[in-house]
Structure 1
Amino acid sequence: MFGTIPRRNNRKLRLSNWFARERDGDMQSFDVQGVASGVGVLLRAVRHDLARRRSARAIARTA
């Protein structure tokens, strides 16, 4: 069925498209890593703040 479709000899175009897709994928992975890093920093700051508040409450109870 699909054997009758003529295929153009465009190896250079296919290779350049492949490299373009790979570069886009790399940029997306860098972006995702950047977002994940930002979320990690935010969560660490929230945890640190909660721990600081807990310790302040514990000190206030004992005083």
Structure 2
Amino acid sequence: MISEQPAQLSWFKSTYSSGEGGECVEVATNGTTVRVRDSKKQSGPQLAFTSGAWAGFVADLGRDGF
């Protein structure tokens, strides 16, 4: 678990997200840590991953059967 609080981060949504306010997450990175949050509760809790763990997760998304 990563417990440091980031300084200013630039958050972004997937290009697949619509502008209609549906279920969506936002992602930000500082180079070593990737953070994920609910786009509707921006001041709420965040998940934090190492860059390597996030890269593995994203790679698995593209595989059949995920």
Structure with the largest fraction of helix: 1
| Larger of the two Rg values belongs to structure | 1
**TM-score, with structure 1 as normaliser:** 0.24
Structure with the largest fraction of strand: 2
**TM-score, with structure 2 as normaliser:** 0.23
